[in-house]
């Protein structure tokens, strides 16, 4: 199989891409809740993947590679447009909480999983998906997101704690998640 | 194991890594022991596992969603030289615009000959301007020329959304509404090009049928002396080679090209150089240029 840039991406590679699209779309939706924006991101990622197909090492997991491309594109897009266009639900919730005054850590206040997910930061939400649901190894997470393994480890534990705190109803607006388990 | 590692407390990060089987055997054994001694931590880890399973279950249905047609088409039809060809076209078009005048015109004709065979503009029967359903660029440009002929002479209803209608202060709101509406319906960015440098002011716009589930946007501009031009935008088909073309159908001149995912056309009863200046202004204001 020729690996010359400029030669068409082979059928087998395209088939791999097609099979990976559902998981790629699911990942994109953890980054931007609007499904249309998520699909735009997926489209950008696929275009880049097709343009650089010759750089993909067939020994690797193609989904990890695609997630890395999509993450990179998302970060680029965010940097280009500032925070105006990407509506982060977590920010909206924080703003609402701030407006309501001091938070009430009401243990009886439970919210469901979907609501809790929305309130997490993008970084936490994507890690919970990649490590928890997609079962990426820490090394794969590190590679896809361009961060050190140590950061994956600490950030993921904070994400789990943050999610648990939201589900327990003990989360306070702007509060950091638990650093140390008692 | 060295002493310092033994004395290091088991923190949340380690418990989390234990859950993910990311610890080496020695560390894992240490956390196993810790969890036996600390039931509260063991409970926390159990909850994290339950949350993870709940999340997986909640997100599972998304995998079953059908993949949108446009994504499938992209993967199937993408061609290796799409990016390079786009770059060539941009260089070529910039050369044309920079040259301008007669030299620019001869460059344009040379480019046109290098591209696909020349289009034949055929008069469609009047009263059926949208009978043609060809997806080829020529068919679309033909329809643009016809639309130009149909709407430009209209006095009262040249456009569907007229930005000059209503009170003076409402113009900006009307423009915003027009842009959002057309952008949403055509599914490509539709900027309200500023052609005031060439003496043209925006009248408004409308939506036109083009292909099934692919309408196109029309913007109409008017000169101080009453002359009108129309600009068309539509979502380009994938795999359609981009061409920069100039055609003339009777007294209507047309420029058309594809940039990125958008097809553009400009129609006017103007001389070639005047139309070129307008096309240049539009090209410079396209969104999504890289």
Q: Shortest Cα distance from B85 to chain A (angstroms)?
A: 11
Q: What is the pLDDT of residue B107?
A: 45
Q: What is the pLDDT of residue B9?
A: 81
Domain check: are A113 and A63 in the same one? no
Domain check: are A164 and A104 in the same one? yes
Q: Shortest Cα distance from A14 to chain B (angstroms)?
A: 6
Is B75 in contact with A113 (Cβ distance < 8 A)?
A: no
Is B20 in contact with A164 (Cβ distance < 8 A)?
A: no
Domain check: are A149 and A103 in the same one? yes
- pLDDT top residue among A123 and A114: A123
- Chain B residue at shortest CA distance from A167: B51
- Look at B31-35, B91-95, B183-187 and tell me which has the smallest mean pLDDT: B91-95
Burial state string for B123-134 with b = 16 or more CB within 10 A and e = fewer than 16: ebeeeebeebee
Of residues B263, B170, B182, B256, the one with CA closest to residue B219: B182
Q: Which candidate from A23, A46, A154 shows the least CB-CB separation from B71?
A: A46
The whole-angstrom separation of Cα A12 and Cα B204 is 48
Q: Which two tokens stand for residue B132?
A: 């043609």
Q: Which residues of B touch A180 (CB under 8 A)?
A: 9, 11-12
Q: Shortest Cα distance from B130 to chain A (angstroms)?
A: 30
Q: Which residues of B touch A8 (CB under 8 A)?
A: 79-80
- pLDDT top residue among B80 and A37: A37
- Look at A98-107, A116-125, B69-78 and tell me which has the smallest mean pLDDT: A98-107
Domain check: are A62 and A16 in the same one? yes
> What CATH number is attached to the domain comprising A122?
1.10.10.10
- CA dist A161 to A176, B33, B47, Å? 10, 22, 10
What confidence tier does B237 reach under pLDDT thresholds 50, 70, 90?
A: confident
Q: CB of B276 within 8 A of CB of B252?
A: no
The whole-angstrom separation of Cα A42 and Cα A23 is 10
The whole-angstrom separation of Cα B277 and Cα B40 is 74
Q: What is the pLDDT of residue B4?
A: 54
Q: Which of A81, A105, A137 is the last residue of a domain?
A: A81
| Interface check A99 vs B, CB under 8 A | no
Name the A residues in 118-157 with CB < 8 Å from any B CB. Answer: 128-129, 131-133, 137-138, 153-154, 156-157
Domain check: are A16 and A75 in the same one? yes
Q: CB of B175 within 8 A of CB of B192?
A: yes
- Cβ contacts from A onto B, under 8 A: 115
Domain check: are A51 and A102 in the same one? no
The whole-angstrom separation of Cα B280 and Cα B286 is 10
Q: CB of B48 within 8 A of CB of B16?
A: yes
Is B55 in contact with A131 (Cβ distance < 8 A)?
A: no
> Would the pLDDT of B14 be above 50?
yes
Domain check: are A51 and A99 in the same one? no
Of residues A139, A174, A143, A167, the one with CA closest to residue A153: A139
Give residue for tokens 């997490």. A120
Q: Which two tokens stand for residue B124?
A: 């469609």
Domain ranges of chain B: 3-63, 85-284
What confidence tier does A8 reach under pLDDT thresholds 50, 70, 90?
A: confident
Q: What is the pLDDT of residue A158?
A: 97
Is B12 in contact with A179 (Cβ distance < 8 A)?
A: yes
- CB atoms under 10 Å from CB of B143, counted, come to 25
Q: What is the SS3 assignment for B194?
A: coil
- Look at A59-68, B14-23, B147-156, B162-171 and tell me which has the smallest mean pLDDT: B162-171
Q: What is the SS3 assignment for B163?
A: coil
> Would the pLDDT of B32 be above 70?
yes
What confidence tier does A94 reach under pLDDT thresholds 50, 70, 90?
A: low
- pLDDT top residue among B185 and A2: B185
* B interface with A, Cβ–Cβ below 8 Å: 9-13, 15-17, 20, 22, 40-41, 44, 47-48, 51-52, 54-56, 58-59, 62-65, 67-68, 70-72, 74-76, 78-84
- Contacts for B21 with CB less than 8 Å, ≥ 6 apart: B28
Domain check: are A94 and A151 in the same one? yes
The whole-angstrom separation of Cα A133 and Cα A130 is 6
What confidence tier does B122 reach under pLDDT thresholds 50, 70, 90?
A: very low
Q: What percent of chain A has pLDDT over 70?
A: 73
Geometric angle at alpha carbon B140, from B138 and B141, rounded to 5°: 65
Q: Which residues of A touch B40 (CB under 8 A)?
A: 181-182
Rounded to whole angstroms, the maximal C-alpha distance in chain B is: 92
Residue B256 host element (H or E): strand B252-259
Per the structure, how many domains does chain A have? 2
Q: What is the pLDDT of residue B83?
A: 54
**Averaged pLDDT for residues B85-102:** 49
- CA dist B99 to B92, B198, B257, Å? 11, 18, 18
Domain check: are A71 and A126 in the same one? no
> What CATH number is attached to the domain comprising A39?
1.10.1740.10
Domain check: are A68 and A107 in the same one? no
**Averaged pLDDT for residues B100-104:** 42
Is B78 in contact with A182 (Cβ distance < 8 A)?
A: no
Domain encompassing residue A41: 11-81
Average pLDDT, rounded, for chain A: 80
Q: CB of B178 within 8 A of CB of B205?
A: yes
Correct CATH for B85-284 of 3.20.20.140, 3.40.50.300, 3.30.200.100, 3.90.226.10 = 3.30.200.100
What confidence tier does B48 reach under pLDDT thresholds 50, 70, 90?
A: very high
Residue B68 host element (H or E): none
- Contacts for B284 with CB less than 8 Å, ≥ 6 apart: none
Domain check: are A94 and A148 in the same one? yes
Q: CB of B234 within 8 A of CB of B209?
A: no
Global pTM reads 0.52
The whole-angstrom separation of Cα A136 and Cα B154 is 62
> Would the pLDDT of B259 be above 90?
no
**What values do phi and psi take at A172, rounded to 5?**
-110, 150
């Amino acid at each position: 199989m020729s690996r010359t840039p400029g030669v068409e991406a082979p059928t087998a590679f395209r088939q791999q891409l097609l099979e990976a699209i559902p998981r790629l779309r699911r990942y994109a939706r953890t980054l931007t809740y609007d499904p249309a924006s998520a699909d735009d991101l997926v489209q950008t990622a696929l275009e880049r993947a097709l343009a650089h197909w010759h750089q993909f090492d067939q020994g690797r997991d193609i989904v990890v590679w695609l997630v890395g491309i999509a993450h990179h594109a998302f970060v680029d897009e965010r940097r280009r447009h500032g925070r105006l266009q990407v509506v982060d639900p977590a920010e909206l919730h924080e703003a609402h909480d701030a407006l309501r005054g001091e938070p009430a850590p009401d243990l009886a206040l439970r919210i469901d999983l979907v609501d809790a997910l929305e309130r997490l930061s993008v970084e936490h939400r994507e890690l919970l998906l990649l490590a928890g649901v997609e079962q990426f190894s820490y090394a794969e997470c590190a590679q896809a997101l361009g961060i050190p393994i140590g950061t994956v480890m600490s950030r993921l534990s904070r994400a789990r704690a943050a999610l648990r705190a939201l589900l327990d109803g003990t989360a306070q607006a702007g509060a950091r998640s638990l650093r140390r388990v008692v | 194991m060295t002493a310092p590692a033994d004395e290091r407390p088991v923190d949340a990060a380690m418990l989390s890594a234990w859950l993910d089987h990311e610890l080496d055997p020695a560390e894992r054994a240490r956390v196993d022991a810790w969890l036996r001694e600390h039931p509260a931590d063991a409970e926390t880890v159990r909850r994290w596992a339950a949350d993870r399973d709940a999340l997986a279950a909640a997100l599972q249905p998304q995998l079953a969603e059908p993949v949108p047609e446009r994504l499938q088409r992209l993967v199937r039809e993408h061609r290796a030289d799409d990016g390079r060809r786009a770059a060539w076209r941009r260089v070529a078009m910039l050369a044309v615009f920079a040259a301008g005048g007669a030299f620019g015109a001869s460059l344009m004709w040379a480019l046109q000959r290098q591209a696909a065979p020349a289009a034949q503009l055929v008069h469609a029967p009047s009263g059926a301007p949208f009978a043609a359903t060809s997806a080829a660029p020529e068919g679309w440009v033909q329809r643009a020329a016809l639309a130009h002929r149909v709407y430009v002479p209209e006095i009262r209803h040249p456009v569907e959304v007229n930005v000059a209608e209503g009170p003076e202060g409402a113009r900006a709101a009307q423009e915003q509404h027009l842009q959002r509406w057309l952008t949403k319906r055509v599914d490509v960015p539709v900027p309200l090009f500023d052609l005031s440098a060439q003496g043209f002011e925006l009248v408004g716009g409308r939506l036109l049928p083009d292909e099934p589930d692919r309408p196109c946007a029309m913007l109409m501009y008017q000169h101080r002396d009453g002359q009108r031009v129309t600009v068309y935008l539509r979502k380009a088909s994938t795999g359609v080679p981009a061409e920069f073309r100039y055609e003339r159908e009777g007294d209507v001149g047309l420029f058309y090209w594809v940039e990125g995912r958008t097809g553009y056309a400009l129609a006017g009863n103007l001389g070639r150089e005047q139309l070129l200046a307008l096309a240049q202004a539009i090209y410079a204001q396209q969104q999504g240029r890289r």
